[in-house]
Structure 1
Amino acid sequence: MFMHLKGITWNHTRGKLPVLATAQRYMEMHPGVTIDWQARSLKEFGDAPIDILAQDYDLIILDHPWMGFAAENKILLPLEHFLEPEFLADQKANSVGKSFQSYNYTHQYALAIDAACPIAFYSNEKLKADNASLPTTWSEVIDLAKRGKVYCGGNGTSILMQFYMLLATKTDEKLFVDGIIADKEIQKESLLEIQELFSYLPNCVFSKNPIGVYEVLASPKTEYYYCPCDFGYSNYSRVGYSSNLITSANVVKYNGKMLKTTLGGAGFAISNKCKNIELALDYLKYTASGEIQQSIYVENGGQPGHRSAWTNSRANELTNSFFNNTLETLDNAYLRPRYDGYLSFQETAGPLIRDWIMNEGNVDELIDNIHDLFIYSI
């Protein structure tokens, strides 16, 4: 009997190759099964409507802020109704930070097969050539930026994640509560700190996402070598992936506390339109299992969501200790909102802050406008 599954992931080595590899091996072990993975862009991964994807695909690799929308519109299978409690318990126990939790919104709508958040990363070769040491505090990051050695993403999403990072650190994650994002003075202070950082960076950063930042740091043609906070990609810490090996690190401290960056990653969900549910569930379990996450998945460019892979010696040998070097930052990461409507706020608030930095606008007006966007989104 022939059975077919069609999946959609995102178009980067980290998003595409590991699921192609798990599908290939699964098909070899299950003659008669075909699994076809297609890919969308990184931007579409964040904002392409999943209700439309669920009409065309059985398997969806998605971002956790979609969970509120998924719950409201009943788009995805509630996995706790189909998977064994023991398997889900293992997934929860081996979560990297709040990754497992991030896909639970009234139901467990996905499993974390990929874990990420903004981390620090740098070119050790350029660092040594500059006879410099890594910054350990936010003020030291600013000092390094003044010297023209810092580069980080300035697109809307990256800047918004920096805003969240400072707010979450200062408020101990008490954000988006009782109709306000955070105390207005804390917001103002944080925005001005982000503005100061970007005042020392070149204007070209405003078109860069995390992948673009990695490419700049890895290039031997630039003097930039340190990024204080942008989404981590273990691929650039692998020999041969880029012209300059990138080393990962935990983020610095702010007023004595490690910065709380914002959780990212990717979840594996199954559309409620899927016709071969048992097959889809079995393949999901295979891909998300600790055994596969620390072998086929990570060995083919993946950034696993199962904690056993992050502490696995082979995985760290492959990635210049990417996982060991950043696990503390992942465990400390802030889980952003996931309510139905949140993504409209994220898609508009980030570019608003970006434009304010670029055009040196009024910070109080910006805070009022961000608040209005938040109220509208809920």
Structure 2
Amino acid sequence: MSDKIILKGITWGHSRGITPLLAFSQRYNELHKNVEIQWHKRSLQEFADFPIEKLTETYDLLIVDHPWVGCAAATKCVLPLEQYLSKEYLQNQEENSVGYSHLSYNYEGSQWALAIDAATPVASYRKDLFEQNKRTLPQTWEDVVALAAEGKVAVPAIPIDLLMNFYTFCVANGNAPFAGKDEVVDKETGLKALESMKALWSKIPKWMFEYNPIAVAELLSTSDEFWYCPLAYGYSNYSRIGYAKHLLSYTNVVSLNGSPLKTTLGGTGISVSAGSSYKKEAVAFAEAVVSENVQTYFYTDNGGQPGHRKAWTNEHANAITGNFFQNTLLTLDNAYIRPRYNGYLHFQDHAGDPIRQYLRDGSNPEEVLTAINTIYKDSFKHP
């Protein structure tokens, strides 16, 4: 057909990231025969390394991370969706947000993306191994450290994940980070956070410092060496029958200093390029794919981890994922929100390196704080 509209989309290359989009795009084309959506994928590292604002020159639809919206607001390279969607629709999205997911894409008064996927670090474990060994799940950070001393704990340890967990342990040890522009966190809190992390990460194999959350989930689900992961962005795929060799079960995180850990919100949103030749059609697809019915059934059934709360509380969605959603929702609702100023991503790209060096090689913790404070100050010069 000569009037066929082709929308190009870019997402990340995991079953959770691309499979539900491909599936719903096929169905969307069946319902809107003149609209075809072609999805391209890139690795998690490419997702972090290549500027999204450059991708808007090529793609109509973009799957983005919420700390990027400061750049979106500054460059106006994606559409402010409140100008294209009804107040009622956006209000419904906000009321059905998983934690702060929806508003995490709202910056300087505009909605730069819609929450299509929700995630935060949660705990995962091999239920069969705990039962076989007549052991109970850790309830406190001290329990986790003790289990790690037995060699049964796997945990992501690449720089980005360590940085996200550093925020968590700052909150747990007294103060949230980024209260001012001179330092990431006060020295006392920062040193306590690093000490809390060192207690665990000093007990994992050195090779695990190359592992991201997906690699840890694959490790837990394919061998019996490790039983438990205390902190990794959740992937409901591994709690679905048939996805991996062994099922993973998911649960909320443990407590430290008397309170549940407040992990760092992740997930993704869907944005529409301001340079798209088919803005109306692209917005219509975005509106459809994050709608309650699609998110709860079609999106979740095809391996997605929805951003709509009704999906997280839905009986069917939980039945096919071993109750992944209901068993971790408390941690999602309690999650810490990262900064979103234009330039923050420079900090995020670099500040995990000195933390990893400290945890892996034993560098000076005060020098770690000095290094990340320097990177923080530099980030305001890197919009």
Classify the TM-score, shorter chain.
over 0.9
Structure 1 distance, partners of 2:46, 2:311, is 27
**Which of 326, 330, 336 is matched with 2:328 structurally?**
326
| CA displacement at 1:172 relative to structure 2 | 5.7
Distance 1:173 1:185, change over 3 A: closer
| CA displacement at 1:255 relative to structure 2 | 1.2
Contact 1:239 1:245 in 2 (8 A): yes
SS of alignment partner, residue 338 of structure 2: coil
SS of alignment partner, residue 356 of structure 2: helix
Contact 2:175 2:189 in 1 (8 A): no
| CA displacement at 1:53 relative to structure 2 | 0.5
**Which of 177, 185, 190 is matched with 1:187 structurally?**
190
Matched, 1:149 2:152: yes
TM norm structure 2? 0.96
| CA displacement at 1:126 relative to structure 2 | 1.4
**Which of 368, 371, 374 is matched with 1:369 structurally?**
371
Matched, 1:244 2:279: no
Contact 1:152 1:213 in 2 (8 A): yes
**Which of 146, 157, 162 is matched with 1:159 structurally?**
162
Structure 2 distance, partners of 1:176, 1:152, is 28
- The residue type paired with residue 194 of structure 1 is M
- Report what 2:100 is aligned to: 98
| CA displacement at 1:52 relative to structure 2 | 1.1
- Report what 1:347 is aligned to: 349
- The residue type paired with residue 48 of structure 1 is F
SS of alignment partner, residue 229 of structure 2: strand
Contact 2:167 2:177 in 1 (8 A): no
Structure 1 distance, partners of 2:133, 2:158, is 28
Q: How many residues align?
A: 377
Structure 2 distance, partners of 1:174, 1:202, is 29
Matched, 1:288 2:290: yes
| CA displacement at 1:38 relative to structure 2 | 0.6
Bigger shift: residues 353-362 or 106-115: 353-362
Q: Deviations over 1:79-119 (max 9, x none)?
A: 00110000000000000001011101111100001000000
- Report what 1:133 is aligned to: 136
Structure 1 distance, partners of 2:119, 2:276, is 28
- Report what 1:258 is aligned to: 260
| CA displacement at 1:174 relative to structure 2 | 5.4
- Report what 2:66 is aligned to: 64
| CA displacement at 1:171 relative to structure 2 | 3.7
Query: Which ranges of 4 or more aligned residues in structure 1 deviate by more than 6 Å?
Result: none
Distance 1:192 1:170, change over 3 A: closer
**Which of 200, 204, 208 is matched with 1:201 structurally?**
204
Contact 1:70 1:76 in 2 (8 A): yes
**Which of 15, 20, 23 is matched with 1:21 structurally?**
23
Q: Deviations over 1:348-376 (max 9, x none)?
A: 11122111222211111111111111011
Structure 1 residues 295-306: aligned runs within 5 Å: 295-306=297-308
Structure 2 distance, partners of 1:178, 1:276, is 40
- The residue type paired with residue 214 of structure 1 is A
- Report what 1:214 is aligned to: 217
Structure 2 distance, partners of 1:169, 1:97, is 19
SS of alignment partner, residue 319 of structure 1: coil
TM norm structure 1? 0.98
Structure 2 distance, partners of 1:361, 1:92, is 44
Q: Deviations over 1:282-326 (max 9, x none)?
A: 111110100000011000000000000000000001100000000
Contact 1:46 1:62 in 2 (8 A): no
Structure 1 distance, partners of 2:194, 2:103, is 29
Structure 1 residues 2-21: aligned runs within 5 Å: 2-21=4-23
Structure 1 distance, partners of 2:88, 2:275, is 26
Q: Deviations over 1:10-33 (max 9, x none)?
A: 100000001111111110001121
Contact 1:253 1:259 in 2 (8 A): yes
Distance 1:292 1:214, change over 3 A: same
Structure 1 distance, partners of 2:234, 2:169, is 18
Could you tell me which runs of 5 or more consecutive residues in structure 1 were left unpaired when the two chains were aligned. Answer: none
Kindly report the root-mean-square deviation, in angstroms, between the aligned alpha carbons of the 2 structures.
1.1
- The residue type paired with residue 285 of structure 2 is Y
Structure 1 residues 80-95: aligned runs within 5 Å: 80-95=82-97
SS of alignment partner, residue 88 of structure 1: helix
Q: Deviations over 1:198-231 (max 9, x none)?
A: 11111111000000000111123x4211000110
Structure 1 residues 25-40: aligned runs within 5 Å: 25-40=27-42
Structure 1 distance, partners of 2:177, 2:355, is 21
Q: Deviations over 1:258-288 (max 9, x none)?
A: 1000000000000000111111111111101
- Report what 2:51 is aligned to: 49
Contact 1:168 1:175 in 2 (8 A): no
Structure 2 distance, partners of 1:196, 1:373, is 25
Contact 2:173 2:192 in 1 (8 A): no
